[in-house]
A and B are shown apart, each in its own frame.
Chain A
């Protein structure tokens, strides 16, 4: 037997032990537990060749056309995220690295209601004949921070706010001749949740549909110490 072979075997085994130990550590304590419906955790389209089932987060940042971005410079400074200085007029913008952050998502609370009302009001004022349907999700991002503890101190009710990992990006913005950085949350991490057996039995009979009027299921999602989620239970609605 070649000398390197036992080392290669050991490496495969060790890597898997590290990964599974990390999973066990994450699940050793539940830091958040929330029930979300099909509107917040939609099915990912799988196709006939793929028997795996996963759900994706459906959420809104609350910044649509005609509304200002809630991720202002002041809000970001509060969260410990400093914006780079604006470049001089003739110099090209240097786009900073996207940053990993934690995001506070509110579920069907005041921020969500306020966003819906404001949007419809502005929509009526600017384009009253245009028919727009808002996303059905009740999840709306309300805050960001570099660590989850500061967000949880600010939003202590875990039934109303969940803290998840995300990625913050900056892009150049020019609005009414005023130059500024525009911040936005480009993705949640992870943005898809694997559905393990036996919960797959509930999803298999369901056809992939978007824009439903009523949700067909509710999922209890847990988050562990590393804010990696898993499905605890599923029920049909």
Chain B
């Protein structure tokens, strides 16, 4: 449903743009419709917009869009406040409950969340509130296992992330919710990292110190997002993969420790160039495939990598005024390059 709604909203936006453009052409006397043509056109467009608004709950006018955005912000903040209140309520009275009652609440909470998602999905077309309830449900499942671990003093394990990731992915595919897919991919990436660390004989939370353990997950996400059938989920796989990979390379190129048995300084240099190279590669791939998200992510991280390198190479010895002058010049060159890229994407 979210796919279809997005298509419908895009169509409504195109119709609105068409109307505005037609008005401009008529004003400039380039194209003037007869009264009959105008009436038929308006009747058709009005009927189409009404149908789309009825079927997909899309915003027909700009002011409707602004109100929808406002509603989304208010409902998100309200939901967050409600969840915080419920959490703090339990935090305050949790210790007064008997252990079996605590266990029952922990197990029941995500199940109630699932029921809420199903109830909401049957009553709304856009699945906006279903997505919010979904995020809360995943949070409840995370709390479920964390608090159980605290109640019984269990030694922590990365396998909890497998359960959380799989849960979020099930919900993402059941209700076609991209946010939940992103959450699931993060959870599964942490599980892969923790399991890799345990296999290497380490204490699993130290996987966060070895960002290489995230590169495999990043590559898998990008490859899957590239080769799978193109839809909104494939874009989410790619975006999560790029973000995971770029952040890992940023950590590895600055202060992170590595699994590789070589001089850490040399390893960091290799990862610094790998970061710049992969960001450039992402931009190239995004242009070829017309993936705006990939181009923007690649461009953003290329800029970040460059800034970090410049600071690392020049900050200590270069006069500060010269550093900022050169940085400004580089920014101007990058802006010109991105403008060319944008023009090339528009042309294709």
Enumerate chain A interface residues (CB-CB to B < 8 A). 1-5, 7-9, 11-13, 15-16, 19-20, 22-23, 26, 49-54, 91-95, 97-100, 165, 167, 189-190, 192-194, 196-197, 200, 226-230
Q: Which one of A12, A95, A194 has the greatest number of beta carbons of chain B within 10 Å?
A: A12
Given contacts A97-B203, A99-B203, contact A12 B257 (CB under 8 A): no
Closest-by-CB residue of B relative to A167 is: B203
A interface, by DSSP: helix, strand, loop or mixed?
Answer: mixed
Contacts of B144 in A (CB 8 A): 12, 15-16
**Which of A5, A52, A92 meets B265, CB within 8 Å?**
A92
**Which of B103, B107, B154, B174 meets A22, CB within 8 Å?**
B154
What does the 1/0 interface line of B83-104 toward A look like (CB < 8 Å)? Answer: 0000010011111111100010
Given contacts A51-B95, A228-B152, contact A12 B141 (CB under 8 A): yes
The answer to whether A95 touches B257, judged by C-beta atoms less than 8 angstroms apart, is: yes
List which B146-183 residues lie within 8 A (CB) of chain A.
148-156, 163, 166-167, 170-171, 173-175
A1 to B201, CA, bound (A): 44
The answer to whether A49 touches B92, judged by C-beta atoms less than 8 angstroms apart, is: yes
Contacts of A189 in B (CB 8 A): 155-156
The answer to whether B166 touches A11, judged by C-beta atoms less than 8 angstroms apart, is: yes
Measured CB to CB, the closest approach of chain B to A224, in angstroms, equals 10
The answer to whether B206 touches A98, judged by C-beta atoms less than 8 angstroms apart, is: yes
B interface, by DSSP: helix, strand, loop or mixed?
Answer: helix
Q: List 26 A-B contacts (CB under 8 A).
A: A1-B118, A7-B170, A8-B171, A8-B174, A11-B163, A12-B107, A15-B145, A15-B163, A16-B107, A19-B152, A20-B103, A20-B148, A23-B152, A26-B154, A50-B91, A50-B94, A50-B95, A52-B94, A92-B263, A94-B258, A97-B201, A189-B155, A190-B156, A194-B153, A197-B96, A228-B154
A19 to B166, CA, bound (A): 16
Contacts of A228 in B (CB 8 A): 152-155
Q: How many A-B residue pairs have CB under 8 A?
A: 135
Measured CB to CB, the closest approach of chain B to A157, in angstroms, equals 24
Contacts of B145 in A (CB 8 A): 15-16, 19
The answer to whether A2 touches B155, judged by C-beta atoms less than 8 angstroms apart, is: no
Closest-by-CB residue of B relative to A2 is: B174
**Which of A9, A94, A190, A193 meets B264, CB within 8 Å?**
A94
Measured CB to CB, the closest approach of chain A to B84, in angstroms, equals 12
Given contacts A16-B148, A23-B154, contact A9 B163 (CB under 8 A): no
Q: Which one of B97, B156, B203, B264 has the greatest number of beta carbons of chain A within 10 Å?
A: B203
A78 to B96, CA, bound (A): 47
The answer to whether B141 touches A200, judged by C-beta atoms less than 8 angstroms apart, is: no
Q: Please give 17 more A-B residue pairs, beta carbons under 8 A apart, in addition to A91-B263, A190-B155, A228-B153.
A: A8-B114, A12-B107, A16-B145, A16-B148, A19-B149, A26-B154, A49-B88, A49-B91, A49-B92, A50-B94, A51-B94, A98-B203, A189-B156, A190-B156, A194-B151, A228-B155, A230-B152
